[in-house]
Structure 1
Amino acid sequence: MKPRLPDYGGASLADLLPGVGAQLGVPNAVDTIGLPAAEKYLVFLVDGLGAALLDEYAEHAPYLASLRGRQLTCGVPSTTATSITSLGTGLPPGRHGLAGYSFWYPPSGQVLATLRWPAEISALDVQPQLTYFERLQDAGVATAVIAPAHFAGSGLSTAALRGPAFLPVRDESDQPRRVELAVEAMSRGQRAVGYLYERNLDHAGHERGVGSTAWLRRLAEVDALAQALRSGLSDEVVVLITGDHGMVNVPKTNRLIVEDEPELLTGVRALAGEGRLRQLMTAEPDAVAARWRDRLGEQAWVRTRAEAEAEGWFGPLSPSLAPRFGDVLVARSDDGAVMTRTLPREMSLVGMHGSLTAAEMDIPLLIG
C-alpha cells in the first residue's frame, strides 16, 4: 500500500482560501478547486471530519451526505495544527512550518506543543508569513473567525488565523448563537469571508472512538448545525463545509511503546509528532530509519526527511523550516501507533490521526 499523498496546488486544504480569493478578485489568486462564484463565503471546518467517515456513517448525517461530491486532501501530518495553518495561510506545511501537533523548534532547542503554546515563544516568530485572511483584508474583503472564546490570542490562532475580527463562542452547545454569529460575519461587508470552527466531533473520536455512541451523537449535531447555517444565511452566501483530517481507531494491541524497545531510540535525541506519525530527531537519519524499517516493515512508511520531501509529503520545503520536520518520520500504514510513556495522556486516546492513509488524508468539500 502506498501513502495517500497530498494534492498541494490542486485540491488540498491549503488551496481553499486562495480559491475563494480568486473568486473575490484578490490579485494573483488562482482557484484550482473550481468553487462556485459568490461575493460571500462561510468556511465551516469540522475537526475530524474525514471523507471516508462521512461516507461510512452517512445515515447519521443526512444533510451533509446529501451534499457529498467533492473531496480535498489535507496536508502532512494530517493533524489539526498543521491543517488549520495550511487553511489560514494558503500554504503547504513546508512553507508555513507548523510541522505537527508537536515539532522540533530549533530557536528554543525544544519540542513545541502547538496546543499548549509557551508564553515566551512568539507566534509571529514561529509563523511570520501573511495569513490569507490578511491578504483578503488587503483586497478589501471583510473577514471574521467564529471560534471558542478562549482561542482568542492563542499561539496557534495567531500563527494560523490572525487578521479577521474574532467572534467568540462562549457556549459551544448553543447552535442558534453560532448561526447568529455567522450571519453577523457575513454582514460585515459587500464581500465577506467567515470561518467557523467546530471541534467536538474530534474530541469524541479521540476519547471514545470513531463510530462510538458519543461520536455518532456529535456527528448528528454537526449535521444539524450545518443545516441550520444554510437555513439561517441568505442565498448569496456559499457555505463551504470541510474537515482538517480523518481519523482511525487504534487498538491497544497495536501500539509500539518506545520505552519497551529502547534499541529503537539509539541515536534519537527527541520525539515529536503524534502516535500515527512520529517524528524522530537524530544526527544519524539513515541508520535510525533502517532500524525502524526493520522493526515495522509494512506496518509503517518510514522515511528520512529528504525522502519524505522528495515524495511530496510537505510541499516545497523552505530550508529555514526544514529542521522543524523530523529527521526520520514513522507514519503508520496500518491501524497502529508509536507511543511514549512520556506523553501519558496520549495513551488514553482511542481515535488518532496524523498519517498518510486515505482515511486520514481525504476530507470532504461540501457546497451548501
Structure 2
Amino acid sequence: MFIDTIEEIKKKSKINGLITPIYNGLNISNIGSFILENYEIQNNFEKLSVIQSLEIPKKKKVVLLLIDALGFNLLNFVRNKVLLESFEEMINNGLYTVITSTFPSTTATALPSIYTLSTPGIHGALGYRFYAKEFGNLINPLFQKLSVNKNCPIKFDESWFIPIKTIFEILNDYRIQNYSIVRSDYLSSTFDKAVYRGTKEIGYLTLSDLYNKILELLTLDTVFINAYWWSIDALSHHYSPFSQTVISEIKFIDYFLKMLLEKIDNDTLLIITADHGQIDTSKGKVIKLRDEPGSSNILLPASDVRAPYIYTNGKLKKEFFEKFENIVALTKEEAFNLGLFGETINFDERVGDYVIIFKDNSCIEFISEESEVSLLGKHGNLTEDEMLVPLILYYK
C-alpha cells in the first residue's frame, strides 16, 4: 500500500521549489519513536504521523535496514527500469511511503538523527565537516581527522560527539536485546561507536555475510536488529545515482531481500529506509568562490560542497552571493528560523555566518578535496533527489 505524502511534504516546505526537513512527523528522526512503541516503550519523541492512524501489529523482532543513498526518486526510477520483485512484494503487501532526510542531507548528520531520535540542532552533528571550538578547527567526524589536513588524525570521546542517549541505550533500559550489523572496517570508528552506543556491533564483509548475520539474530525471541548497507552511496558518487551500475546494484539488493523475505516469520517487522538520496551533478556548475572579488572576507567554508556553511570576518555582505543565480544564501539566523536544523539549536557555532542553498545540481569549490568536487553524484542539500527517502514497513 502506497501512502503518498509528497504533496504534504511540498506544501510544508519552507523554501519554494525545494524540500525542507519535516522533523515533526515526516522525517527519518521519527522512525525510532515507532520502534520504541513497538516494544511497548512509551516516549515523548516526535511520532511518525503517516502511520499514526494505522493499526500495525506489534512484533517481537524488528529489523531496520538502512540502505545508504537509496532515495525515493532513485528507487522509483529503478522500479520503472527493471522488475524488483521483492520491493514490489513489500510495496504491494506492506506499507510504502515517503519521508524527509535531515539538513544537511548527509550520513554524518542523518545517522545521529535516526539513532538519537532527535534533530541535528540537538545532537550537534551538523555536517560532513563542521567547526568544533574544542579543536579550534574544522573536523571530519566520519574519519576522525582535521578536515583541512587529512594527515592530522584527532581523537574525541563518544559522549562528546553524541551527547544524548541513543535508541540502543533506551532499549537496554527496557532489557530489549539489540544489535547493529555494520561494515567490518567501520567497527573501530569513533563515529560508529558514538552513533551505535549501547548496541552490540557485529561486522560483515559482503551482502551475503550481512544476510547470514541477520538470520542468526532472528533466531532470538525478542530483538531489535539494525543493519546498514553502503554500496548505493559509493556507486552513486562514482558513477552518478541514476547510472546503469546503480540500477544493477539495486537489482542485486532486491535478490538479497528476496532471500530475506523467505526467511522472516510472523513475529518479525522489516523496516527499510535511507539516510538521504543523491543528485546527479555530472553536469552541475562548480562555483569557485575564491575567484570572486571580496572572497578574501571568507575565513572558512565548512560542511559539504553541496551544503556549505560560510564563515566570514564580518565584512562579507549577503549581496556577495546575489550574482549567483543558482544559489540562495541564508544568514545563520534565517536558517535557524526556517527550522533547517530543528527548533532547538545547541551548537550554533557549528554553523557559519551563511548557509548556502542550491536551486540546482551545482556545488561550491573552496578548500574541499578535489576528488569530492569531481564526484558525479553528491548530496547534502534540499532537492527532491537528496531529501526524499522511502519508508517501507513489511510483515507477514
Does the CA-based 8 Å contact 2:282-2:375 persist in structure 1? Answer: no
Task: State the shift of 1:27 in Å.
Answer: 3.3
Q: 2:333 aligns with which of 291, 306, 314?
A: 306
Counterpart in 2 of 1:150?
Answer: 185
8 Å CA contact retained: 2:303, 2:309: yes
Find the partner of 2:43 among 15, 25, 28. Answer: 28
CA gap of 1:337–1:141, structure 2 versus 1, over 3 A, is same
Give 1:313's aligned amino acid. L
| Residue identity matched to 1:2 | G
Please point out which of 236, 260, 265 is paired with 1:234: 265
Could you tell me how far apart the structure 2 residues matched to 1:129 and 1:248 are?
Answer: 31
SS in structure 2 of the partner of residue 180 of structure 1 = helix
- Corresponding residue for 1:67? 90
How much does 1:158 deviate?
A: 2.0
Give the aligned partner of residue 338 of structure 1: 364
CA separation of 1:280 and 1:367: change in aligned 2, threshold 3 A = same
Contact 1:55–1:65 (CA under 8 A) maintained in structure 2: no
Give the partner amino acid of 2:320.
R
Please name the residue that 2:246 is paired with. Answer: 215
Match in the other structure for 1:290: 319
Code of the aligned partner of 1:358? E
The verdict on how the C-alpha distance between 1:259 and 1:146 changes in structure 2, with shifts beyond 3 A counting, is same
Equivalences for residues 1-368 of structure 1 within 5 A: 1-29=16-44, 31-33=47-49, 34=51, 36=56, 37-58=58-79, 59-60=81-82, 61-68=84-91, 69-118=96-145, 119-169=154-204, 171-172=205-206, 174-175=207-208, 177-188=209-220, 190-252=221-283, 254-261=285-292, 263=294, 265-284=295-314, 287-292=316-321, 294-297=322-325, 299-319=326-346, 321-340=347-366, 342-368=368-394
1:101-155: CA deviations, max 9, x gaps? 1111111111111221144222321222111111111112111001111211312
Deviates more, 1:95-104 or 1:231-240: 231-240
- Separation in 1, partners of 2:141, 2:43: 31
Q: Give the conservation status (yes or no) of the 8 Å contact 2:28–2:275.
A: yes
Q: Say whether the 8 Å CA contact 2:63–2:269 is kept in structure 1.
A: yes
Which one-letter code corresponds to 2:172 in the other structure? Q
**Cα offset, 1:65, TM superposition:** 4.3
Q: What is the SS of the residue equivalent to 1:246?
A: coil
Amino acid at match of 1:13: I
Say if 1:56 and 1:66 are closer, same or farther in 2 by CA, change over 3 A: farther
The root-mean-square deviation of aligned C-alpha atoms, in Å, is 1.9
How many residues are aligned here? Answer: 359
TM-score (norm 2): 0.85
How far off its partner does 1:70 sit? 0.9
User: Is residue 78–residue 360 contact of structure 1 (8 Å, CA) maintained in 2?
Assistant: yes
Instruction: Give the 3-state SS of the residue equivalent to 1:108 in structure 2.
Output: coil
1:219 counterpart SS class: helix
The answer to whether the 8 Å contact 2:271/2:392 transfers is yes
* Deviation by residue 1:224-282 (Cα, 9 ceiling, x = unmatched): 2222222222231111011111111113551112333353x332211111121111122
1:4·1:358 contact (CA, 8 Å) conserved in 2?
yes
More displaced stretch, 93-102 vs 339-348: 339-348
Which sections of structure 2, spanning at least 5 residues, go unmatched?
1-15, 146-153
Q: Distance in 1 between matches of 2:256 and 2:119?
A: 29
Partner of 2:11: none
2:112–2:162 Cα contact (<8 Å) kept: no
1:71-98 deviations in Å (ceiling 9; x for gaps): 1111100011111111111111111111
Contact 1:267 1:288 in 2 (8 A): no
User: Contact 2:363–2:373 (CA<8 Å) still a contact in 1?
Assistant: no
Q: Is the partner of 1:107 in helix, strand or coil? A: coil
Q: Report the identity percentage.
A: 23
1:290 positional shift: 2.9
Is contact 2:63-2:270 (8 Å) kept?
A: yes
Q: Deviations over 1:25-76 (max 9, x none)?
A: 2232564342733222101011011111111111433422443431111110
Residue type of the partner of 2:264?
A: L
* Structure 1 contact 339–346 (Cα < 8 Å) conserved: no
Q: Deviations over 1:275-312 (max 9, x none)?
A: 21111122538x443312x1223x12321121111111
What are the Cα deviations for residues 302-358 of structure 1, in whole angstroms up to 9, with x where unaligned?
211211111110102333x11112321112121111123541221330000100112
Question: Could you say if the C-alpha distance between residues 38 and 260 of structure 1 is closer, same or farther in structure 2, counting changes exceeding 3 Å?
Answer: same
CA contact (8 A) 1:75 1:83 kept: yes
User: Structure 2 CA distance, aligned partners of 1:100 and 1:268?
Assistant: 19
TM-score, reference length from structure 1: 0.91
Pair 29,236 (structure 1): closer, same or farther in 2 beyond 3 Å = farther
